[in-house]
Structure 1
Amino acid sequence: MAAASQRAIRLLAGANVAALGTLGAAIALKPDGDATTGGVVAQAEAVGRAARLAGTLAVVAADYKGVEWFSNETKDASASERLKKAMAEQELSGLEVERAKDAAAREAGVRRAAAAREAVLRESAAVAAQGSATTPWNAAHERNAARLLHLARANGGVYVKIAQHCAQLDYLLPPEYTTAFASCLDDAARSSWDDVRAVVKEELGAEPDEAFDAFEREPIASASLAQVHRAVWKGRDVAVKVQHRGLRETSVGDLALCGAAVGVFGKLFPAFRMQWVVDEIAPHLPRELDFVAEAANCRRCAKTFERWPDVVVPEVFDEATSARVLTMSWEPGVNGTRKDEIRDELGLDPTAVAALVSTAFAFLTFHDGHVHCDPHAANVLVRASPAGRPQLVLLDHGLYRELDDEFRLEWARLWRALALADVPGIRESAEALGVGDLYPLFAAMLTQRPWDDVVNPDLDSLRRTGAADDAMLREYAQRYAQEITVVLDRVPRQLLLLLKMSDCLRHLDRSLGGTTNTDVVTAHACADALYAADGRLRSYLRVKLRLWAYEWLSAFRGANLARQREASVSVPEMTSGFAKDDRGV
């Protein structure tokens, strides 16, 4: 115990040294002599944010090390070890099927993979059950999630943006964190009325009450970079997005400090690998802070969906828009994750809503190439159309990625191959995207399924959305953390934002019940995009007929299973009996 106490003391000292180093870096961000008064104030506030970051880092690190060293809990690791062994067996069986040279060998591999799959699910359930009990680690997660949430709310800006992203990593992070951070999606810290007035006057040349017919002082929502006020402009109800004051001056420094803090924490806890979250945000933050650019994105998205009555994009009013103020038409709706409200109050089917979301974003990705990459719950509203169908309202158009045609079509080929379990196609497209020999891991990352499920889709009869599957996915993420980092380093930069978009869409789908057959939706979009590019009608019809057959079979089986469970039949089960297609669609 004495030795452990000494280690704890050294750890605390080390954490505080790291904290002081982080604080020192913040102090080094002192303004130069030519800085404006507003800039001086903003950068001085950045020093305070760095101090809070440093202090929180030290406390969180010490808390986790204390649990690691002093807990009397002798947690049964047997379930976790059995899960790891079952996963290894599952991987081997997947390779056996992939490399089978005849039908008999493939059938033997399929049987072995089926047994391994059952073992993985069984041990995942055991790990999930073990994790459901209150343990010192659960308690530590809850304490530290609260601390980091407080830090994000106190510091705002970049800190809230990182928390928003982490809130959607429910397949990767402990639930204590995703639950705590979820409040940041639409209820971040709010700017004072004085700050709002100052920003509006600096940008539009008049006080809010002068620039608008009416302007509500209390914001209706606040996010990481801005908050939204309801107003009236030239007789029309509008939503006015006002950037948090000082954010433009300090965001780059704040992001650098967050990156440094993540690095320090990674040194203390080698299993902690979240640098990629910061790396995703950094290159695009300046563009997100330019509301003129966001207005242009909004107009282009509206043009893309002008013939889609079920997708609405707010109208932008340029006369009342500038770099830090964006004025748009007022568009009511319900947060896209509120399943009960969507079903009970709007009278809409959450599954139909999820399908519409998947269809809209698949169209942006595979057809338009100008992709909204931040569809978190607060940015996708739902309402009933006049015809009584689900209607989406797409908000927050600051984070977009323009996909070049070569990448867009290769991305479509990859997803088509994934939907059809076409291993050669998966390998070829993944290699074209720079992944190389890590294509099995890349496929697993994209589909959230083990490789043997990808190559043997008939083994996965139902979509997995339970606690056991969460435990299995977290185990895979920890086991292949280094390899995942390598994959993220290899892929084109434009792909990183698509992965972020996928995290957001996956979170929405899970919140709405997780029963949408997104593989079918994606495969339809891919087939349509590839046909538009190469015009190969025969091959296109072959793929579409397969997909329609899958949907019919899924609907037929779903009707029979509806009384027993809510999960829908997944695309992979339906694809297993069909021959692989050639490379061109």
Structure 2
Amino acid sequence: MAGRLLKVSSVATALVATSGVYLYTKQLDPNDLSLVRFGRAAAATAVISYDYLTAFRNVEPGTDEYSALKSKVHLRSAERLRALCCANRGTFIKVGQHLGALDYLLPGEYTSTLRVLHSRAPQSSMDEIQQVIREDLGKEVPQVHWDLSTKRILTMEFAEGGQVNDRDYMRRHGINVNKISENLGKIYSEMIFVHGFVHCDPHPGNVLVRVCPHSGKTHIVLLDHGLYQELQPGFRLDYCRLWQALITSDMLGVERCSRRLGAGDLFPLLACMLTARSWNSVNTGITSTPVTHSEDVEIRTNVSQYLPQISELLNRVPRQMLLLLKTNDLLRGIEAALQTRAASSSFLNMSRCCVRALARHRRSKASSRTRRLRISVGEVLGLWRLGLYEVYLQVKGHPLARWLWALLGCLG
């Protein structure tokens, strides 16, 4: 049992270390040299591993004492990870913020401890900020203007609002939680599938919601535009086709598109990681199979058991996929906090964007007006079918419809 718990902590620690290696770019402080930063990561890993290996030696598994001790070990390990992220700063903070959003994957002690990095991350000193400003702008104190932004500085207005995972804030301000989840999904589907230019750091501290005081409309505000990924057209289209296959339960298409993206014989694992669903649910249909507690438990268990395969898969797929996986995890964490996971509307919006993106690509390759017209007609019909299906789901889920079905069942 201690070994399995050790694997759970290893998932978090490995993600911190390996993601830091991938994203690490430049340091301004000698204390932040890569040797020092990853030396800290190695030391934290060793201490956490030793704690898990020795803490449970004299405790019987399955007892109340064991459960209480497990929670304590999780908590102090999470605090060590948080201290590591704060000490190394930079991309380690980003990874800590990512882990803090994985409520569906990591123990609560980890997510609650690391979640503070969403809104209370260590701040750079004014001297450090002014150093970058002097290097790039030649000024001591910048004014708030777009012309003062550079490759390393993005000067933006201060935005009021509540974090996107704060249900209490939304309740107090009369904000529809389901609509926020749906619109956030639309925003990211447009970015990923249609435009191929993606904000890849949507942890709750970077996504605010607010009611506009002038129009009364609800706004979603994206902050921190320092981590964008421009998707290569070929990758984006294969990713579109893969998601279409996943949504329609086209398993041959899932395998074909996954292999095109480099997954090889690990294509079932890629499908499970993208959807955060079990392989059985992927086969049955992610749009028709509700998420259950037993499935969540199965996923948490498998993450620790399949860590070598996960590492192998991450080494195989294009680097663009790594940031999309991170983005998916963060969005899924928000959905879990809002209790809107696996909503049918999110899959419908993804399908619409995939249909539009693939139709636009086919039109760009068409050699005749007739061919382009046929593609456009097919696109309209595809979107129309999705619209009809959405109406069907809305009617089916309406309380009156459920009452009528129950009445017909009684009469039958």
* TM-score, length basis structure 2: 0.78
Which residue is 2:393 aligned to?
Answer: 554
Deviation at 1:505, TM superposition (A): 1.1
CA distance in 1, matches of 2:88, 2:168: 33
Match of 2:383 among 518, 541, 544: 544
Q: Deviations over 1:489-527 (max 9, x none)?
A: 222222111111111111122222225432112111111
> What residue identity is the alignment partner of 1:147?
R
Q: Deviations over 1:559-585 (max 9, x none)?
A: 229999xxxxxxxxxxxxxxxxxxxxx
CA distance in 2, matches of 1:49, 1:456: 45
CA distance in 2, matches of 1:50, 1:417: 40
Which residue is 2:101 aligned to?
Answer: 168
Matched, 1:192 2:125: yes
Q: 1:561 to 1:355 in 2, by over 3 A?
A: farther
1:50-61 equivalences under 5 Å are 53=41, 56-61=44-49
Which residue is 1:383 aligned to?
Answer: 210
Matched, 1:393 2:221: yes
CA distance in 1, matches of 2:38, 2:400: 54
Identity over the aligned pairs, expressed in percent? 35
Tell me the secondary structure at the aligned position of residue 328 of structure 1: coil
CA distance in 1, matches of 2:324, 2:32: 33
Tell me the secondary structure at the aligned position of residue 511 of structure 1: helix
Match of 1:444 among 269, 272, 284: 272
Matched, 1:361 2:200: no
* TM-score, length basis structure 1: 0.56
Deviation at 1:49, TM superposition (A): 5.9
Asked if structure 1 preserves the Cα contact closer than 8 Å seen for 2:186 and 2:350, the reply is yes
Asked if structure 2 preserves the Cα contact closer than 8 Å seen for 1:488 and 1:496, the reply is yes
CA distance in 2, matches of 1:484, 1:183: 27
Which residue is 1:423 aligned to?
Answer: 251
CA distance in 2, matches of 1:505, 1:562: 31
Match of 2:59 among 34, 51, 72: 72
Which residue is 2:409 aligned to?
Answer: none
> What residue identity is the alignment partner of 1:440?
P
Matched, 1:43 2:30: yes
Deviation at 1:458, TM superposition (A): 8.3
Deviation at 1:538, TM superposition (A): 4.8
Match of 1:512 among 338, 341, 348: 338
Q: 1:54 to 1:482 in 2, by over 3 A?
A: closer
Q: Deviations over 1:108-131 (max 9, x none)?
A: xxxxxxxxxxxxxxxxxxxxxx99
CA RMSD of aligned residues (A): 3.1
Deviation at 1:324, TM superposition (A): 4.4
CA distance in 2, matches of 1:73, 1:48: 39
CA distance in 2, matches of 1:58, 1:140: 14
CA distance in 2, matches of 1:406, 1:51: 38
Tell me the secondary structure at the aligned position of residue 134 of structure 1: helix
Unaligned stretches of 5+ residues in structure 2:
1-26, 364-374, 404-412
Which residue is 2:113 aligned to?
Answer: 180
Deviation at 1:372, TM superposition (A): 1.5
Match of 2:163 among 335, 339, 350: 335
CA distance in 2, matches of 1:543, 1:458: 20
Deviation at 1:463, TM superposition (A): 4.0
Deviation at 1:441, TM superposition (A): 2.3
Deviation at 1:421, TM superposition (A): 1.0
Match of 1:62 among 7, 31, 50: 50
Asked if structure 1 preserves the Cα contact closer than 8 Å seen for 2:101 and 2:204, the reply is no
Which residue is 1:569 aligned to?
Answer: none
Deviation at 1:201, TM superposition (A): 4.4
CA distance in 2, matches of 1:458, 1:160: 32
Q: 1:418 to 1:384 in 2, by over 3 A?
A: same
Which residue is 1:478 aligned to?
Answer: 304
Which residue is 1:373 aligned to?
Answer: 200
CA distance in 1, matches of 2:78, 2:151: 34
> What residue identity is the alignment partner of 1:540?
E
Structure with larger Rg: 1
Deviation at 1:452, TM superposition (A): 2.3
Tell me the secondary structure at the aligned position of residue 154 of structure 2: strand
Deviation at 1:158, TM superposition (A): 3.4
Which residue is 1:317 aligned to?
Answer: 146
